[in-house]
Structure 1
Amino acid sequence: MLPVLVALTVALVWLLSVGLAQLRAVDAAREAARASARGEADADVIGRAGRIAPEGAVVTLERTGDTVTARVSGSVGPPGGGLLDSIASVAIAAEAVAAIEGDP
């Protein structure tokens, strides 16, 4: 019975970490889109978003017409090691679009 409870606890903790990583990716994409739309330098925007995003996530910016799109993608691996190493990582991704701000 105890091994089942431990496995269930590990699975729930992993599920929680995946959810939190997704929320961080959404926040990072939103912040990157806003900052880029305000005209901040791409390197600064990507650096700021990288600090918000989950570890190892990739941040990209794309300008099209009068909008900027920020994308954050990454993955969350299983907790611990040993037998859990054979479990595939879960991909996370987020995207935010903002209108480029100009002079009023």
Structure 2
Amino acid sequence: MRSRRACRDDRGAVTAELVLGIPVLLGVVVGLVWLLAVGAAQVRAVDAARETARAAARGEDRSVALAAGRRVLPEGVVELSEDGEQVTAVASARIDPPGGLFDALAGITVRAEAHALREPDLGSAP
């Protein structure tokens, strides 16, 4: 008799655990998706800095080089500096959390820097 009563007391325990577990699992999934978005933004920042530096090193106009970087990272900032024979491009972007419980987290800023030496002007060679 006692064992039947024990079984009846445990009824609904799985439902309660499931109700508590699903939101936690959903939060973990949303957090992982956000981290994937941050990783993808970092890759785009690296590509934007590299494209900007390469275009400037080839002798492209400054606005053309910056436009090349902004095409790769439209939500970010691309800067270009020149120091003699070396050009440096810096690309950065801020990735905000997805919202909800993650609003308490600060956004993450991804940043990439690329350097390139100016290529010689082959058009003026005899």
Compute the TM-score of the two structures, normalised by the length of structure 2. 0.76
Q: What residue number does 1:47 align with?
A: 67
SS at match of 2:110: strand
Instruction: Tell me which protein shows more helix as a share of its residues.
Output: 2
Greater than 3 Å deviation, 4+ residue runs? none
Letter in structure 2 aligned against 1:87:
L
Say which structure, 1 or 2, has more relative contact order (CA 8 Å, 6+ apart).
1
Superimposed CA distance per residue, residues 77-102 of structure 1 (whole angstroms, 9 cap, x where no aligned partner): 111x3443332100100000000112
Q: What residue number does 1:38 align with?
A: 58
Letter in structure 2 aligned against 1:28:
A
User: In percent, how many aligned pairs have the same letter?
Assistant: 51
Superimposed CA distance per residue, residues 2-46 of structure 1 (whole angstroms, 9 cap, x where no aligned partner): 001100000000000000000000001001100000111111111
User: How many equivalent residue pairs?
Assistant: 102
Whether 1:101 and 2:115 are equivalent positions in the alignment is no
Which structure has the larger Rg? 2
- Superposition pairs of residues 1-104 of structure 1, within 5 angstroms: 1-53=21-73, 55=75, 57-79=76-98, 81-104=99-122
1:54 CA drift (Å):
5.2
CA distance in 1, matches of 2:24, 2:104: 19
CA distance in 2, matches of 1:96, 1:7: 36
Letter in structure 2 aligned against 1:97:
H
- RMSD over equivalenced CA pairs, Å: 1.2
Compute the TM-score of the two structures, normalised by the length of structure 1. 0.91
Instruction: Tell me which protein shows more strand as a share of its residues.
Output: 1
